[in-house]
Structure 1
Amino acid sequence: MQELDRSFFHRKLSLVIAYFHDPKKVGTFTKNCSKDVLRLKKIKNIIKDENVTKIGVLLNENLSNINEISEKLSIKAQEFFEQENIELEPYELDITYDFWKSEEILSAILPEKFLDEVPSGFTITGHIAHLNLRDEFKPYGKLIGQVILDKNPNIKTVVNKLDSIHSVYRTFDMEILAGENNLIVEQRESNCLFKFDFTKVYWNSRLHTEHDRLVKSFKEGDLVIDVMAGVGPFSVPAGKKNVIVLSNDLNPESYKYMQENITKNKVEKFVKPMNEDGRVLIRECYSELLKFSQDNNGVIKYQSKKRKNKEEEIIEHEIKIPKHINHFVMNLPDSALEFLNEYNGIFTKYKSDIEKIQNFEFPTIHTYCFEKFSPDENPEPTEEVLHRRVHAKIQKIMDCYTLPFEALSFHTVRKVSPTKPMFCVSFKLPKEVVFRDS
C-alpha cells in the first residue's frame, strides 16, 4: 500500500447476540458469566433495540454462530439462557479502521519482510510526534506518519529526523510526514510551559526526569550557571524554586525562546538570559556574578501571596545574592567535557578578594557526557570501567591528576544505544584548578 486506504480495514465479524426483555437480568448475566460476554476494546457489548423493548448482549467473539453454543458457551450461561427464555440470534458486527491498533495497521500494509520490526515508536513533544525512521522504512514514511496521526488524537504533526544533530547548535533537519505544517511547540514540563521552534533548537522530551532530578538538588538562593541552557529546561524550573540562574546558550534561536520562556513562567527576577560562547562565560563567570549582584544591589526582591481570613496578603521577600557560584550545569553531552579546561584559573584574578570571603564555596560541576564503547569488547565493560574512563578524560582535559575518582559522582541518565550510555558526572572544582595561573 503506497497511500493509506482506510476502507481496506473494514470487516464484518459474525457473532451471537442474546436479547433480554428484563433490564435487571442483563446485569446479573454480565456479572455471573463475564467470560461469555464480548470483550473487544472500543466495542460496546450491550446494544439497545430501537424500540427499547429489549436489550442485546453480544457474546464472546469465539462464538461465531448459534450452532456453537453448546461447545463454546459455559454451562452456567446456557442454563441461565434456558431458565430465563433468552432469545439468541446471529449478529454481524461492523469493524472499521478505527478499531485497529496502529501496530496492527502497519503490520497489514508494510512489506512482509518488515513485520518483525514495525516502526510504531515515537517521542511526543507538544503536538509533534518525532520518529527516527531507519532507511528501509523511509519510502513508507508518509504512510506510517498518517497512521500515527490517525491513532493519536493529541498529535497534530508527525515528523522524521533526516540526519545527525548539527554539531554547533544541536539541531537537526526534519521532514513532515503527516499533519499540520506547524513546528512551533508548546511543551509542559516540571510545572513550566516551554515554547520553541522544534527545528531550530535542541529539545529532548526523554530527559524530563533528569531535568527534575538535578533541579531538586538546588537550594533556594543557590547561584547556578547553566552554560548550555537551550530554551531553559534546567534554568526555568530552578528559577521557580527561587534559585538564581545565569542561563546561557550560544544558539540565537534558543536564546530568543529562553527569554520568552523566562517571561512566560514569571521567573525574570531569578533567571538572567545570556547569549554567549560557553567558553567565554566560564572564563568570565566571576565577573558576571559580580555584575549581576551589582545590577540587583546584592539582593533579589520578590513577593508572594497568602490568604488570611479570606483576604489576600502580599508578603515581601529578599534573597541575598551569594558571593560564590554553587553549581555549573553543562548539558552538551557530545562535547561538554572538552570545555573543562576553561575552569583553570577562573578565580585567580580575584584570589585576594575571594580569600577574604567567609565560608567561600567552590562550585560543583554537573557535566553530561557519552562514553561509547565497541560492541566487540569482550567482556562488555562494566559501569565502573566506563566511569573510570570518563574520570581519566576529565583529569587529562583539566590537567589535574590529583582529582580522585572517589570525588566524582556518576548518574546514568539513559542509554542512547546499547553501546552508548549517557552520564551526568558531578564533582566539586578543586582549589588548585580555579586558582591556577592561566
Structure 2
Amino acid sequence: MFGFRPPRFHSRMSRELYSRSHLDTAPPRYNGPFYPLDKSAFQKSIPVLAARVPASQTSSILRSEVTRKYLIGLPKIRPVVSDPSAPDGDKLVLLGVSDPVELSLESLKLIESNGNGFTHYNLVLDYDYWTTSELLQAILPEELREGAPVGFAATGHVAHVNLNDEYLPYKRTIGQLFLDKNKSIRTVVNKLDNIDTQFRFFQMEVIAGEPDFIVEHHESDCRFTFDFSRVYWNSRLHTEHDRIVQLVQPGEVLADVFAGVGPFAIPAAKKGCAVMANDLNPASYTYLCQNVKDNEVSDEVRTFCEDGRNFIRNVFRRVYDTPFPAYTGPKLSKTALRKLQKQTARDKPAIENPPSQEFKPSRRKIDHFVMNLPDSAILFLDAFRGVLTDKALREVYSTMPIIHCHCFTRELELEQAKIDIRQRVEEKLEASLQGDVEFKKVRSVAPGKEMYCVSFRLPPEVACNTKE
C-alpha cells in the first residue's frame, strides 16, 4: 500500500470541497496528414489510481454510495479490469483520481476493508475511444473548431451531410470519421447546392465509403427501398409523415399528389386508408410501386406517374368511376391471417343462421389531399378550380376534402408567416379560406427559411368554378 497519511478534515463540507481531480481525456493535438488520417497518432496514456480488490468484493466497491462518485466514470471504459502484472489475481477497480489523498475518509476505509491496497494503472485511450466531435477538435484548425459538423442524417446505410464551404478542404477526413464511428453506415455523401430542377432531388458527392445509393430504410413500421441519388427523401420529416398519417382515419381516401417513394401513402394504407399516390419522377414512381408491393398494400394503393396538376384534375373522376371497396376493418398480416384460418378450421363453429352483413358503400370520395412539395406546391392549387363541375361528382361531395399543403416562407414570426402563406394560397385558389385553417411549422430549413404545412378544407366555390 502507498505510504501516505490521509489529510485531516475538520468537517464533512471540507472533505467535499477537497474534490477529485478531473482527468484530461482530450485527444492529443493532431499534426499528421488530413487524408488518410494517421490513426496511430491518436494515443494517450493517463495514470489513474486503482484499488486492488478480490473479484468477490468488487461489487461492494461499485455499489457503495461512498465510493461510487470516485469511480473512473468515463464512457466506454469499464471500471473493473484485470491486473496486467497478475491476470489471475485481484481485480483492479479504476478510480477517477490520481492519488489516494483525493479520496474521502469514508471511501478510504471502505476500500481498505474490502481491498488489498492501491496501485497506479495506465489507462490508454486511442482512436477508437474518441467521438467524431472530439477528434475534429484535435484535427481542424482552431478557427474552424467551433461550428464543426458533428452530425448527419441517416437514410438506410447512407449518411448525408451539408458541409459549409470552409469545411470542404476537410470533407474526406470528415467523411472517414463518420464512417469509422458509425458501424451501420457504409456510404457518406455531401449534398451539393445543385438541385434537379424537374424532380427536385439533391445532387451529391461521395466523400467516404462505397458509392452504393440503393438503400433500405425503415420508418413507421414500413420498409422503403429506393435510390437515394435519384429520388427525394428527408429523414428529418419522419415526424411530419407520422403527423399527417394520424390525421387520416381508417376507411378514408387520401390523394398524395407528390408521393415520392411513399412515406405518406404506405403508412396511411397500412392504417386502413385507400390511397391515390402520384409522382412525376420515374425513379420515384418505380420505387413507389416496389414499396407498395413489399409492404403488402397493393389493394389499398393505386399509383400514377404524371404531372401533379393533371393528377389533381383527374383524380376526383378516377375515384368516382372506379371506387375503392368498402372498408371492412383492419387488414390482417399474412401471419395473423394464417393463424386465424387455422383456428377457424379447428373450432368449426356451427352457425345455422349467420347474421347478415351490414351493407357498406364503396369509397368514391376523396377525404384528404397531401401536397408535400414545399418549394412549389402552392403553385399547383389552381388545379382545384372546377374539379367538381360535373353534377354527379358534386353530389358525392357533401363535404369538401381537406388539403394539407407544404410550403416555405421567409417570415420567421408565426403571425407573419400565417399572413404570407394564406395570401399566397388564396391568390392561387382565387378564393378566401373559410372555417378552420391550421398552420403547422414543420422545421427550420435554413437561416431565414421556414417550412410549414397549411391545412384547410377546399372551398366549394373553388371546386365548382369553371374558370381555368
Give the structure-1-normalised TM-score: 0.89
Query: Partner of 1:12 in structure 2?
Result: 45
The 1:108/1:81 distance shift into structure 2, 3 A limit, reads same
Contact 1:36 1:74 in 2 (8 A): no
- Which of 244, 250, 258 is equivalent to 1:228? 258
Which whole-Å CA distance do the structure 2 matches of 1:337 and 1:156 have between them? 37
Post-superposition Cα deviations, 1:207-247, rounded to whole Å, max 9, x if no partner, equal 11111111111122211111100001000111111211110
Query: Partner of 1:48 in structure 2?
Result: 82
State whether structure 2 residue 393 is matched by structure 1 residue 354: yes
Matches within 5 A, 1:280-319: 280-293=310-323, 299=326, 304=332, 305=336, 307=339, 311=343
State whether structure 2 residue 217 is matched by structure 1 residue 187: yes
The 1:276/1:85 distance shift into structure 2, 3 A limit, reads closer
Aligned length: 415
Query: AA paired with 2:393?
Result: I
Query: Partner of 1:342 in structure 2?
Result: 383
**CA shift at 1:46, angstroms?**
0.9
Post-superposition Cα deviations, 1:233-274, rounded to whole Å, max 9, x if no partner, equal 000111111211110000000000000000000000010010
Which whole-Å CA distance do the structure 1 matches of 2:464 and 2:263 have between them? 31
> Per the alignment, in what secondary structure is the counterpart of residue 117 of structure 1?
coil
Query: AA paired with 1:18?
Result: A
Contact 2:230 2:283 in 1 (8 A): yes
Query: Partner of 1:57 in structure 2?
Result: 93
- Which of 367, 370, 374 is equivalent to 2:405? 367
Which whole-Å CA distance do the structure 2 matches of 1:390 and 1:111 have between them? 43
Which whole-Å CA distance do the structure 1 matches of 2:153 and 2:359 have between them? 41
State whether structure 2 residue 153 is matched by structure 1 residue 115: no
Which whole-Å CA distance do the structure 2 matches of 1:28 and 1:290 have between them? 74
Gaps in structure 1 of 5+ consecutive residues: 374-380
Query: Partner of 1:378 in structure 2?
Result: none
Which whole-Å CA distance do the structure 2 matches of 1:310 and 1:281 have between them? 43
**CA shift at 1:161, angstroms?**
0.4
**CA shift at 1:356, angstroms?**
4.3
Query: Partner of 2:464 in structure 1?
Result: 435
Which whole-Å CA distance do the structure 2 matches of 1:365 and 1:102 have between them? 43
**CA shift at 1:164, angstroms?**
3.8
Contact 1:16 1:89 in 2 (8 A): yes
Which whole-Å CA distance do the structure 1 matches of 2:358 and 2:276 have between them? 21
Which whole-Å CA distance do the structure 2 matches of 1:261 and 1:323 have between them? 24
Which whole-Å CA distance do the structure 1 matches of 2:114 and 2:308 have between them? 80
Query: Partner of 1:385 in structure 2?
Result: 416
CA RMSD in angstroms, aligned pairs only: 2.4
Which whole-Å CA distance do the structure 2 matches of 1:436 and 1:230 have between them? 30
**CA shift at 1:184, angstroms?**
0.5
Aligned-residue sequence identity (percent) comes to 39
Matches within 5 A, 1:201-280: 201-280=231-310
Post-superposition Cα deviations, 1:122-143, rounded to whole Å, max 9, x if no partner, equal 1111111110000110110010
Contact 1:223 1:321 in 2 (8 A): no
The 1:12/1:327 distance shift into structure 2, 3 A limit, reads same
The 1:19/1:403 distance shift into structure 2, 3 A limit, reads closer
Which whole-Å CA distance do the structure 1 matches of 2:195 and 2:272 have between them? 33
Query: Partner of 1:133 in structure 2?
Result: 163
